[in-house]
Structure 1
Amino acid sequence: MIITIESLLDADQIKLIQSQLATASFVDGRTTAGWHARLVKQNQQLSRTSNLAKKLQEIVLTALGNNALFEAAAYPQRIHSLLFSRYEPGMEYGRHVDNALMGSGDRADLSFTLFLSDLDSYSGGALVIEGACDEQSFRLPAGSLLLYPSSTLHRVEPVEQGYRLACVGWVQSWIRDPAKRELLFDLDTARRSLFTREGKSIEFDLLSKTYANLLRRWLE
């Protein structure tokens, strides 16, 4: 399941992050890539341990914690390993799959990319996610986020002009199985829609009972 979350950050937050990253010092992005991904990773990133990185991470983590759609789709047990990346013209991140365990020791069930550059400020640089029969390409407005399974093969196409800024991170979910996460998400969406339309009814109570009991059974 791939979820787009529009306007995770507001205009002031986007402007603040863009201005901070415009004068920041970046390092070679290959320093945090796995041994095989390192061969195809060509970008720059903010050092995770820098004061600026920690400040910007808090902004993103707070926004994620306050977003109901993210919570419903990800069931986050832990959000971890956030990185702020920059792609100059010619830079790309070739076809790869994210590590199951990150350097922090946390499991990567879901990956996310938070787009931070205005769409008209760069060209190229699409995030492409491969499926069994096709692939999907994404270039989202600044402040919008794409959430997708870490198990997918994906890549960032070469940037042609301008600079592509993004924040990437990973989620260790309370629900490890992606099929179970999707079932819970659909069930929760249906019961909320029913409640909005009809209020608390017998049907809503039965859906809520099923949702709660499946969640109780599948939580890790």
Structure 2
Amino acid sequence: MTALNSDILRYIVEHQAQPGDRLPTITELSRELGVSVSKLREDLEVARTLGLVQVKPRTGTQVQEFSFGPAATLSVLYAVALDRSYFHDFTLLRKSIELGFWHQAVPQLTPDDIAALRGLVARACDKLNLHPAVVPFEEHRSFHLMFFKHLENPFVQGLLEAYWAVYQAFGVSLYAELAYHRQVWDYHQLMADCVARGDFEGGRRALEEHMGLLRYTPDKEQMPIPDRPSIGHRIFE
């Protein structure tokens, strides 16, 4: 346990605190552990940033369900802020994760999940048919994450969540015409149809072909993606 260089996290592990459990106050922990209040405050802020605890006024510090997403997202956002080419590297990892875990994750989808996938396709197409058209980012994110929602692997889930957070924050590397987006959602429709009829390998092939549409061209300058970008904005897809 010495490798865990955080008195707060070490306390949670050693006391087998469960999600929802409240921790003693900083002052109480300081007395119990013999650690300074300032050091514990630093540890608490790190744990909060990583999503491992929640700190609320009056209710105190509460242990959260473990999620790798906040830690992965923070790290990747920092990396891509340092060097935009890291997004390309992370995109390759995301591709390997989705393709590699596809056959483990997708058979677990329920009829309601498949209906939700089709609903996302319909909503995305509606946005693309607006004047001006709207890039369906939220639908795109939800569509891909839906395939892996039942996979019991927090590290896969966390890395995929991090990908979409970075995609949104640095989504300015590909100039995409309306025809491109429609082609993307044609593939999404094919993926949903394949999964609905139990053709999981066909869905995986459609996913791989869809990912092949991406052409990475890093920008020299960083520019945040608008909340509702219209076709013609430079984006990652």
In our comparison, the structure showing a higher alpha carbon Rg is 2
TM-score by length of 1: 0.25
Q: Which has the higher contact order (CA 8 A, sep 6+)?
A: 1
Could you tell me the TM-score, scaled by structure 2's length? Answer: 0.24
Q: Counting strand residues as a fraction of each chain, which structure ranks higher?
A: 1
Higher helix share: 2
